[in-house]
Structure 1
């Protein structure tokens, strides 16, 4: 049975996911679930992050992994071994075409750990078939895709969680509390950074795809390209046909704390500078710096850590500058400076936000309660959009003006053209 509205299964999952007075239960200790009442999960894409999905969801007693899908037969076989190693009773169905999973009515949830250029289409097709989605970052390949994902999710009343696992961590919650308390005064500047970028990958010749890999299906909606291993597993993000490099990969890791803390609005200009590698076929940024202008807030992204205390020891981080003080953080550290004094916490700022039961647990609880989770699609789309706009500025090599209300560049047909991409036949996006 599927998780469609008004079914007994849906009603069961909803009621068992809520405690007295309607508050979601923290399900870490949930046990004794009948097999027929478990959330039935399928994993699409079984590489590095797909393997993590298998380990995470197979550990929950109220979830059952019933299907695995990958276009690479070797990865699919290894994924089955991994699942069985974590749950000896597992007996998943195996697929090379994710559409076989989408059409099944007995699957409740899919997780998506495909290359970036597949994220949106897999999610939208899952929404249309009545399934909820745990999708890896970045949210989408293009800005338009993110908008369509949100429209589809709302139309079909689905649940979505973006795989920004760090969002559930205590440090991000605490940073947001401190900034929102006003202890640093009004925040006027935020600096974000991530060291490293795309390497050139040399000039390898094209090859015949391995017999175990469906290269045409791997490409999917992306433009056709002859096969070379560096365009596939592991390094596909080095190519604009499939992703946006290290910048696209890590933007949401650290922009997340900016949006958790300040919810910036009114983005009006984007000015990116950078370069691509010159020692290979890769074409995403070797380095990229971006200036963003929001309403009452300046945000700067750099590939080199800024000249602020502690940043030189952080490969990724955020630095908030306020009228009274500053806060520098990464995933698990904080450096707070106020009035010449430095500390890692402000005990006078009380805990004001509920802590997460865990990123994947939060998603499964949302599937039951039908209340959107922490890294929900609406939040994720808003947080991801500046990344897409920055890459457009990078590719056009000029500053761009943005209309936040209309969600389009101002008097700039070339930039607006890059907000989306035509899919390769037979794939297409829906029209809402």
Structure 2
């Protein structure tokens, strides 16, 4: 099947999951998959992470990949070749408009590796059509999108796993066990960091989009912009129209261990500082430092490693400060200090958390059991929210007060305005 680039109005109404008036359409069909069934998967977005999705899911004997979608025909054709190199009998249907995948009743699961500003819309429409979703991080472009995603998931009884692959690893589970055991005492401070930030990308002129790219569909609900390559593949996160820079990209990977370990509650204030590049058109943070105040917990994000032992050699990390000791970790390592002694583990702390069968396997098992996986949407939304709020503080250049119960800023209409954005027509975020 040739990639589809056009869709008429009647087909649009049928396949978007929402009408032009913004009302959900009744397209849901509950998936029932037995343990012996093959799970029929479609991949939406086939670039770098999308290619990883193809590799991961094609390796499972109980998965059949039946469709691929990308707005770039070159990437789409490469994705088909990749799939067939791993499974020569595969013959996936190819699309450049994901709504045709949403419309199909023979697809159980979609994976989403689109640019960030598409994550919510793809997931919501998939939920509405009775499909489960494995979605890449960050969870959503805005806080409001995360709310609607969760409401749609619950309404349609769907399964979702966020692509935080590190979550499934042994190190994160062991860190959480040690901290939850009380061996370090009550944790009062957590320091998170990720080195690096947005580069300016120069001042390239606008161009005509290449023929193999549907630029209008790539933009989707984002504001209209003339095409320049640096706004597209690989560097789109350098622009607030589509994402939030390195900070938005990596927040969930390291904030994840904080939420696994101490489950911070009742965020009350966010104070971000930083700069945007001055040598190009990019506008997401060149560097960003943020102070978060939770109930009984102070959290600090920095672009440079904090001045604590063993952090200087970690390009990303978390440092937990407790009454009895500290723990510093990255994806694979952990360093525990109690008094004058340093440990890599505390053998006396028992294993209390069940281990993952593997991040993608955990999701597929959840699709069959109908029990939510570890990196489920409710957990992911809670963990992602502070990142969004920090970027709002960064853009407004001031400290913000947050009402965790109402999920709104206190007495700040400008900040509350940035909790959501109006979609570019004809796209519209549904209400639930």
Please, what TM-score do these two structures have when normalized by structure 2?
0.93
Correspondence 1:81-120 to 2 at 5 A: 81-120=81-120
Q: 2:342 is paired with a residue of what secondary structure?
A: strand
- 1:370 is matched with 370
Match of 1:317 in 2: 317
Shift of 1:3: 9.8
For residues 258-306 of structure 1, give each alpha carbon's deviation from its aligned partner in whole angstroms, at most 9, with x where no partner exists. 0000100010000000000000000000000000000000000000000
Cα separation, 1, equivalents of 2:39 and 2:28:
9
Alpha-carbon distance, 1:309 to partner: 1.1
Q: Which residue of 2 aligns with 1:23?
A: none
Q: Tell whether the 8 Å contact from 1:113 to 1:135 is kept in structure 2 after alignment.
A: yes
Rounded Cα–Cα distance in structure 1 between residues aligned with 2:47 and 2:319: 33
Q: Is the 8 A contact 1:271 1:290 kept in 2?
A: yes
Instruction: State TM-score, norm by structure 1.
Output: 0.93
Residue 165 (structure 2) pairs with residue 165 (structure 1): yes
Matched position secondary structure for 1:216: helix
Instruction: Name the residue aligned to 2:126.
Output: 126
Distance 2:118 2:51 in 1: 17
Query: How far is 1:344 from its partner?
Result: 0.4
Tell me the C-alpha RMSD between the 2 structures.
Answer: 1.0
| Residue pairs, 1:21-420, within 5 angstroms | 37-420=37-420
- Residue segments in structure 2 that go unaligned for 5+ positions in a row: 1-26
- Distance in 1 (CA, whole Å) between partners of 2:257 and 2:408 is 25
| 3-state secondary structure, aligned to 1:313 | coil
| Offset at residue 4 of structure 1 (A) | 4.2
- Give the whole-Å Cα distance in 2 for the aligned partners of 1:134 and 1:295: 32
CA distance 1:3–1:364, shift in 2 (3 Å): farther
List 4+ stretches of structure 1 deviating above 6 A: none
CA apart distance, 1:366: 0.1
Q: 2-side partners of 1:357 and 1:3: how far apart?
A: 30
What is the number of equivalent residue pairs in this alignment? 406
User: Following the alignment from structure 1 to structure 2, what is the Cα–Cα distance between the partners of residues 153 and 40?
Assistant: 19
Aligned equivalents of 2:288, 2:278: Cα separation in 1: 15
Q: Please give the per-residue CA displacement for 1:384-426, whole angstroms capped at 9, x wherever unaligned.
A: 0000000000000000000000000000000000000000000
